[in-house]
Chain A
Amino acid sequence: MFFRSGLLPALVIGFSAAAYGQTAQEIIAGTDRVRNPGQPFHSIDILTEYVSGRPKAQSHLAVYSKEDPSTRQFRNLIVYIEPPRDAGKMVLLDGHYFWFYDPASKASVRISPQQRLIGQASVADVLIVNLAVDYRGTLVGTEAIQDADRREHQCWHLDMKAADDRASYNRVEYWIEKGTFYPIKGKFYSDSGRLLKILYYKAFQDRLGGVRPTVGIIIDAVDSALVSTINFLEARFQDIPDAWFQRDYLPRLKAE
């Protein structure tokens, strides 16, 4: 019974993992450093959406990211470059303030944390986030799991709960490779406990001053026929003034 519930194995593994001397928060902070550089940066991300295994659409997004020194949360500004029907649309994600701007109607619309998860710009909430700030983690144990290329990795398995209402998801599960702190896999859950997204990281390469994942594979757990890949291209450090995260600045941004 204990084995079927997974409680005893989790306790046993958790005890042994703690023996390595890493707390859950330290592990999460370690993987944050792998994914995110410590300076403001700009990248061009290509999001390819697959429907039932076939590529259906592609979006090019310009992403401007900067850590808020007071909260250590990321402020993200996402500009649609493609598809052409969405060109110039922007999503501002800054703490409690989320705005969607459409240059065709010149309208800025305030959106809720849930609404920001609709659409391609939601990838920023999965990929460019300081998990150690937004979530409180528990080390479930160590597990050997496969990455998207079916290579096996010894990973810490962490279960994270939202630290406050700024977190995009209520609960996140994460598998982080021991030793390297490379993120291998993540699972993201809604307030109701529903599994929303499964994320695999791959193609670790030298980027923005460190070895970081350059490809993410996002499986829509609500409709598993929908799978997206995101390729991080042309990443570079860039000075980003705080005024860029003001909603009235959105019409002024000259994204490249």
Chain B
Amino acid sequence: MMYRSNRLILFGLLAAWPAIAEENMDIDLIPRAIQDQMAPVVDRAPASGPRQRIYFENANTLASLRAGLLVPFPSQRPPTWQEEFFIDARKEWSLLKNFNFAYSGRMNLRVEENLPIPRTENVRHDFREGYLSWEALDRTYLDLGRINLKSGVALGYNPTDFFKSRSVVEALSSDLTVLREDRLGTLMGRAQHVWAGGALSAVFAPRLFNPRSIYTNLGLPSFNPMFDRTNAHGRVLVKGNANIAGGVSTEFLIYHEGNRFQLGANVTEELSHNIVGYAEWAGGRRASLIDDALRYGKQTGSIPVRTPSALPEDGHKSFQSDLSVGASYSTETRITFNLEYHFHQAGFSQRDWNNWFNSGSGLPAYLSRVPAQLWYIRSYALDQQEPISTHTAFLRADWVDAFFPKLELTAFINIDLFDGSAFVQVTADYYLSNAWTVGGLVTRNFGKYRSDHGSLPQSSALLFKVARYL
């Protein structure tokens, strides 16, 4: 019996021999350096630890502008070239037991068309964060200082990211994931408790300054923390999150700013092995974007108080919603797509767009205040990080190791669903080594002259960058 069994095993092994030999061929794929157990030689920067990131970056931008805009651009047009060099630092220090201090900022040196050297505006420090953190009890924290507080789960537009307004100083990219990297925090006190099932946070940000007019590219101060951007209103936020069974994760928010209440909610769910669905909603009583913009312009002196409005004002407030709903889909070839629909009820309707174009086109020169107001509304929306249109769609693709290893391609398109006009950005980053990255991006506004993106002064732009991480 044993003899027969051994014969069967031997017989089986002989029959399986080609498969085993093939199995051993996988070893040939292992590089010689590993097989010989040689120490890897890698050009890598010195270990700095996970609590800091410091890097230099040089970026050159070239832009082409449109001629013959339907609504003439009232002020100095955007620059056609820009050169920017900056040092960006983020670092945390452990102080006494349970005390930490965090700093985050960027020192910029910039030259651009209409901003020659030397001017004080050539040098600018963006003080993003500086705060003290104390773990008063186990996983109960008190934070005080300038904190960059971000909420939301969507990629293209975050209705519940209540502290985003006026926080972006100067954008080198329109990709929201990049914009968030250089935005100013708000002076606040924050209490937070994290436990196994969720987290609860309460935030209070005091009003310390009066609102000031929207900063222009040439009017950015050199060494000014610009707290007027972030602390012009008293703000309170309470938010909590919890995981619900079945792979659903939720977050609920209550926000108060000035005399305005807002509620918010975030939900994410794993829909399949490759798909995550998410939705983000915020709602509260507010005026329309047009009313808010014109009121703010008059409040800060950008628009003369007695000037008649260029667009019909509604005046009344109502409950208005903001929504981002979308899904991410990842492929086996390392591409992740995000498709989102954005709804901004206070934004421009089709009638508002018609009014915007009808009011601003074909005007005599002495009525230049009209295009000034019209463009002010759009710059207000940009400053507040609000979409200008009520209905927009967003598609983003991120491809890791695209075509060859260490090349990352990112592209996104933002489409105004009223007129089909779009903003497109394609970014390429090549990680030359652990320390060096080279990259570039191309942007273009597509659309007819009488459309959201087709009416903008900038047609396309090209940016090259080199970064060195320390």
Residues in chain A within 8 A of chain B (CB atoms) = 3, 6, 8-10, 12-13, 15-16, 19, 48-51, 53-58, 60, 62, 79-85, 87-88, 95-98, 102-115, 118-119, 141-146, 148-150, 165, 185, 190-192, 194, 196, 198, 200, 217, 219, 222-227, 229, 241-243, 245-249, 252, 254-256
Q: Which residues of A contact B202 (CB under 8 A)?
A: none
Segment from B117-125, B146-154, B317-325, B385-393 that makes contact with A: B146-154
Selected contact of B330 from candidates A118, A226, A252, CB within 8 Å: A118
Q: In this assembly, does B141 line the interface, its C-beta being within 8 Å of a C-beta of chain A? A: yes
Nearest chain A CB to B444 CB, angstrom units: 24
Query: 5 interchain pairs (CB within 8 A)?
Result: A82-B44, A84-B48, A84-B55, A145-B24, A149-B35
Nearest chain A CB to B436 CB, angstrom units: 9
Residues in chain B within 8 A of chain A (CB atoms) = 5, 8-9, 11-13, 15-16, 19-20, 23-24, 26-27, 29-35, 40-42, 44-45, 47-55, 90, 92, 94, 100, 138-139, 141, 148-150, 152-153, 155, 177-178, 180-181, 192, 194-199, 201, 241, 243, 246-247, 249, 268, 270, 272-276, 278, 328-334, 336, 400-401, 405-406, 431, 433-435, 437, 467, 469-470
Separation of A13 and B40 alpha carbons in the complex (Å): 40
Separation of A164 and B147 alpha carbons in the complex (Å): 41
Are A148's CB and B27's CB within 8 A? yes
Interface centre among B12, B149, B153, B431 (most CB of A within 10 A): B12
Selected contact of B469 from candidates A84, A111, A249, CB within 8 Å: A84
Separation of A215 and B87 alpha carbons in the complex (Å): 37
Q: Is chain A's binding surface mostly helix, strand, loop or mixed?
A: mixed
Selected contact of B148 from candidates A80, A102, A106, A113, CB within 8 Å: A106
Are B53's CB and A87's CB within 8 A? yes
Q: Which residues of B contact A106 (CB under 8 A)?
A: 148-150, 180
Knowing A84-B53, A224-B29 are in contact, say whether A13-B9 is a contact too (CB < 8 A). Answer: yes
Knowing A13-B13, A85-B53, A109-B155 are in contact, say whether A248-B241 is a contact too (CB < 8 A). Answer: yes
Are A105's CB and B150's CB within 8 A? yes
Q: A53-B32, A115-B336 are in contact. List 16 more A-B contacts (CB 8 A).
A: A3-B15, A8-B15, A12-B12, A13-B13, A54-B33, A57-B434, A58-B42, A82-B434, A104-B53, A105-B150, A105-B177, A107-B180, A225-B405, A227-B29, A249-B194, A254-B51
B195: nearest chain-A partner, CB-CB: A243
Are A9's CB and B15's CB within 8 A? yes
Nearest chain A CB to B150 CB, angstrom units: 4
Are A227's CB and B148's CB within 8 A? no
Are A112's CB and B275's CB within 8 A? yes
Are A247's CB and B249's CB within 8 A? yes
Separation of A76 and B197 alpha carbons in the complex (Å): 16
Q: Which residues of A contact B153 (CB under 8 A)?
A: 108-110
Q: Which residues of A contact B247 (CB under 8 A)?
A: 95-97
